[in-house]
Chains A and B, each alone.
Chain A
Amino acid sequence: MTLDVSTARERRYGRWLLLAVLPIVAVSLLPLFYTFISSFRPGSEIFQYLSPLSVHTFWPKELTLENYATLLSGTFLPALLNSVIVTTVTVVIGLTVASLAAFGLAVFDFPLKNALFVALVLSFLIPFEAVAIPLSSMFRDLGLANTYAGLILPGIGNGLAIFLLRQFFLGIPPSLSEAARIDGASWLRVFWTIYLPLSRPSLVGAGLILFVFQWQSFLWPLIIAPSPTMKVAPIAIADLAGEAEIDFGAMFAGALLTAALPLILLLVFQRQFTNSLASSGTKE
């Protein structure tokens, strides 16, 4: 929808629609705004002004950085670092596995190909939380408890990422790879030099799916990595909420820091994310 085709009437109509959109945006942002504000409040102030309603319910009386100081002196930073490591490795390996599989499914023809595709996507659609308990005893037997590998492995298989990339690969003209094959390129080379570079937007989309999934995970780290040094950020924050005396200020600060990194990534990649899905996932 480009501006030059939109008439004055359409733009006026768009401004009216804005009135419908803004309250929804407000609802979406309000909890984040509240978190942001509360993270800069002295601990005693957080619940003091909740009721009755006053300006100070949503705006702090005095600003402080003490919550961040408390948080950073504890075990939160190592946990956040663990989250970053686990998620980054998940995205890199996950993208490799998914794009290789998608290439295999999109480019070659072999018996039972469609059955394999449906089986792969369906099995990965049963997220591992559902089978977390038997999986965790297997991981413990293999000595993967309290290791990065134990945290990362279940996140790398993602049916949605395979599905997305396969759809995109199907749209790449076969003539490109045929020409390269005649020139003597190996399939791996075709994959690496033709398919991957052409698929950057859809790789961003698949990467974001993998990222969000691992960044969000809670039950699995709770089961497989209970050791204090292997905690990930969501667990560290939940721990703050579980202690006898809950330090809500530090918790809000932790929530904000945990959300900040993906927030930045989303803001940077959102356009590409939408576009990549638009140009791959949905073509008839």
Chain B
Amino acid sequence: MSVTRTVTSRSRTRTRRSALTALAFLAPAVVGVVLLRLWPAVEALVGSFTSRSGDVSFGTFERLFSDPTFIGSLKVTLLFSVVINPLQIALALLLAVLLTQTVPLVGLWRTFILLPVAVPQIVSAIIWGVLFRPDGPFNSVLVALGLPAVPWLTSPDMALWSIVIICSWVGVGYWMTFLVAGIKDIPETLYEAAQLDGAGPWRRFTNITLPGLRRPLLFVLVADTVANFLVFAPVRQLTRGGPEGSTNLIMNTIFERAYQIGDLPAASAATTILVLIVVVVVGIQFRLLPGKD
């Protein structure tokens, strides 16, 4: 970068001055991150190591990890993440590839698939709640086709997958948009050259599209993973974690412990565990990002 070279070749006072100027530009964001993220994260950490009498202790963590409800919630959260992230990203990628071909009115279809983003999560939860009713339109269609009705939200085996469907309805279109942008960034000449060499659609996808999409794909992976660790509204609205704890994602546990049971240390400890998981997972994924700049 030429700016870098010019500045480093100048005197040290110059560098210090530019550091101060840069800091002035960065100040609002830095203040924001300290006050709105780091400080409460530290607060959660301290709160989780404080017993009810105010001493430092690991008691809350011991209590949490010996609580089958919490362990169940961790398991559900991990299962949910392992399923929903690959699913959403694969679908988003497939759609992004489809919708960057010469399809008539392609921009319109892309907008239509992105549209669910406009619906607040809680509202989409309510809409899907009606669609998923035992006597709802989905089951009516199934029954009309001679198929058995599905206990979408009422069976412990099905409920989590119904939440996956609701979240993906919004998520797939959103993440697709970033991948569409990434594909448009790949030089058209690469595809033309490959076509001249006689490469078929699959070869073009694996040899040009996928390598060209590495950065946006990893970015979507990181952002999608974080978002899915924090799913709350559909669970709160539709299942309250049930049936039989099968949809008890960690954000629901945290909310219940803080606001229904009033067990703030447990909520803080659970928050600490969640932040830790997110930081570790995102940290790993960020290491995979090619060339940080």
Report A's interface with B, CB cutoff 8 A.
1, 6, 10-11, 13-15, 17-18, 20-22, 24-25, 28-29, 31-32, 34-35, 38, 46-47, 50-53, 57-58, 96-98, 100-101, 103-105, 107-111, 113-114, 116, 118-120, 122-135, 137-138, 153-154, 156-157, 160, 162, 170, 174, 178, 187, 191, 212, 215-216, 218-219, 223, 233-235, 237-238, 241, 248, 251-252, 254-255, 258-259, 261-263, 265-267, 270-271, 273-279, 281-284
Pairs A–B under 8 Å by Cβ, sample size 17: A25-B113, A28-B115, A31-B116, A46-B130, A50-B133, A50-B140, A52-B144, A109-B15, A125-B226, A127-B230, A133-B44, A134-B43, A237-B122, A252-B127, A263-B118, A277-B178, A278-B184
**A110: which of B18, B101, B103, B185 is its contact (CB, 8 Å)?**
B18
**Interface stretch among B51-59, B71-79, B153-161, B272-280?**
B272-280
Chain A neighbourhood of B292, CB < 8 A: 114, 118
Chain A neighbourhood of B205, CB < 8 A: none
Interface of A is mostly: helix
- Answer yes or no: B83 CB below 8 A from chain A CBs: no
Other 11 A-B pairs with CB < 8 A, given A120-B29, A212-B118, A262-B118? A25-B112, A50-B133, A53-B140, A126-B279, A128-B37, A134-B41, A191-B25, A234-B120, A266-B117, A278-B181, A284-B215
Bound CA–CA A21/B98 (angstroms)? 7
Q: Distance (Å) between the CB of B5 and the closest chain A CB? A: 9
- Answer yes or no: B109 CB below 8 A from chain A CBs: yes
A-contacting residues, B19-71, CB 8 Å: 19, 21-26, 28-30, 32-33, 36-41, 43-44, 47
- Residues 88-119 of chain B, each 1 if its beta carbon lies under 8 Å from chain A, else 0: 00000001001111111001011111111111
Of all chain B residues, the one with the shortest Cβ separation from A277 is: B181
Chain B neighbourhood of A255, CB < 8 A: 119, 123, 126-127
Chain B neighbourhood of A111, CB < 8 A: 19
Chain B neighbourhood of A122, CB < 8 A: 279, 282-283, 286
**B123: which of A1, A11, A259 is its contact (CB, 8 Å)?**
A259
Bound CA–CA A127/B24 (angstroms)? 24
- Answer yes or no: B244 CB below 8 A from chain A CBs: no
**A50: which of B21, B135, B215, B251 is its contact (CB, 8 Å)?**
B135
Chain B neighbourhood of A57, CB < 8 A: 137, 140
Bound CA–CA A139/B162 (angstroms)? 35
Chain B neighbourhood of A38, CB < 8 A: 130
Chain B neighbourhood of A234, CB < 8 A: 120-123, 233
Q: Interface extent on B, as a size class? A: 35 or more
- Answer yes or no: B85 CB below 8 A from chain A CBs: no
**B44: which of A105, A134, A157, A235 is its contact (CB, 8 Å)?**
A134
Chain B neighbourhood of A281, CB < 8 A: 178, 181-182, 216, 219
Chain A neighbourhood of B193, CB < 8 A: none
Chain A neighbourhood of B278, CB < 8 A: 125-126, 130
Q: Distance (Å) between the CB of B217 and the closest chain A CB? A: 10
- Answer yes or no: B197 CB below 8 A from chain A CBs: no
**A120: which of B33, B123, B173, B264 is its contact (CB, 8 Å)?**
B33
Of all chain A residues, the one with the shortest Cβ separation from B184 is: A278
The 9 A-B pairs with the shortest beta carbon distances in the complex, nearest first, are A104-B25, A277-B181, A110-B19, A108-B22, A262-B118, A101-B29, A134-B43, A53-B144, A131-B40
A-contacting residues, B241-293, CB 8 Å: 251, 254-255, 258-259, 264, 267-268, 271, 274-275, 278-279, 282-283, 286, 290-293
Bound CA–CA A275/B184 (angstroms)? 8
Bound CA–CA A126/B69 (angstroms)? 25
**A187: which of B21, B43, B102, B140 is its contact (CB, 8 Å)?**
B21
Bound CA–CA A142/B19 (angstroms)? 32
**A174: which of B2, B39, B112, B279 is its contact (CB, 8 Å)?**
B2
Q: Distance (Å) between the CB of B117 and the closest chain A CB? A: 6
A25 and B109 contact, Cβ closer than 8 Å, known pairs A31-B169, A35-B127, A109-B7: yes
Chain A neighbourhood of B229, CB < 8 A: 130
Bound CA–CA A126/B178 (angstroms)? 20
Question: B113–A28 contact, CB under 8 A?
Answer: yes
Question: B32–A157 contact, CB under 8 A?
Answer: yes
Question: B173–A28 contact, CB under 8 A?
Answer: yes
Bound CA–CA A52/B135 (angstroms)? 9
Bound CA–CA A1/B174 (angstroms)? 22
